[in-house]
Copies of this chain bind each other. A is one copy, B any other.
Amino acid sequence: MTKIQDPMLSFEEELNMYLAGNSIDCVIFGYEHQELKILLLQWKHHPVWSLPGGFIRKDEDMNKAANRVLIERTGLKSVYLNQFRTFGSVARSELHKNAQFMRLDLFKKSEVFSAKTIAWLTKRFITTGYFALVDIEKTSPKPDFLSAKCEWKSLKDTPPLLLDHNDIVQKALEHLRIRLNYLPIGASLLPHKFTMQDLQKLYEAILQKPLERSNFQRKLLKLDFLNRHEKQMTGAANKAPYLYSFDMIKYEKLIKQGIGFSF
């Protein structure tokens, strides 16, 4: 949902600034305490959770609308944000129409929505999914005007979401998993320096399965985008693991080219 941009406009007047029938939804991934998390909103007048999303202004590029939503909800600028899929099934508009709380609970309670506004909001929408990988510590989650909460939730404990948003999260996750096979991932999710175990835990959180340590280390080192630094001095020196960081020049090159092989 969008934020009211101009307090002098009614919601109905404001909706007129947006393209009807198109929306964007953002799956914002973060990583904390060895868990993959996503940023979710809980609605004000109804306990349902949803993805941060919004509409596209008539004078706004769709990609900029996604960026605006990301900035508004997380406070983060210049973040890796990418389209991953557009969802245009008829079934999702049926969900829309049938969402009792949208037609009745929320709209009737709030009493700010005209019949025209409700018709606008419940028509068939085609939504483009974007995904972002962000550093949770750098975010300051902020609800929009329709929501009471904006919080990081562990992906494992994702609640039932509005409409087809659980499906959108699932598709974003599949996208991220496939990317793990051919792109470097982690620069936005891990601290600057990390151990090989930290990196493995991140990959395990994304893949949701345990990986074999020496095999993982061998594969990752072979890709040659990690710099090795000093040892992490916390326990016995002989058992202390090395710290690594991403070689951002090689990392960026692999982001463009893929790590399969390049011709």
Q: How many copies does the complex hold?
A: 2
Interface string of A10-22 (1 = CB under 8 A from B): 0000000001111
Q: Which residues of B contact A182 (CB under 8 A)?
A: 181-182, 258-260
| Interface check A246, CB cutoff 8 A | no
Interface string of A204-236 (1 = CB under 8 A from B): 000101010000100100000000000000000
Closest Cβ neighbor of A212 among chain B residues: B263
Q: Of residues A61, A89, A90, A263, which shows the largest number of chain B Cβ atoms within 10 Å of its Cβ?
A: A263
Expressed in whole angstroms, the Cα–Cα distance for A209 and B259 within the complex equals 20
Report the 7 A-B pairs with minimum CB-CB distance, sorted nearest first: A62-B88, A182-B260, A181-B258, A182-B182, A260-B260, A181-B260, A61-B89
A263/B58 contact (C-beta < 8 A), A83-B85, A86-B83, A182-B258 known: no
Contact-size category for A: 35 or more
| Interface check A42, CB cutoff 8 A | no
Q: Which residues of B contact A20 (CB under 8 A)?
A: 20-21
Q: Of residues A83, A124, A183, A260, which shows the largest number of chain B Cβ atoms within 10 Å of its Cβ?
A: A260
| Interface check A203, CB cutoff 8 A | yes
Q: Which residues of B contact A21 (CB under 8 A)?
A: 19-22
Closest Cβ neighbor of A19 among chain B residues: B21
A207/B61 contact (C-beta < 8 A), A22-B126, A181-B182 known: no
Q: Which residues of B contact A178 (CB under 8 A)?
A: 257-258
A63/B90 contact (C-beta < 8 A), A124-B58, A257-B181, A260-B182 known: no
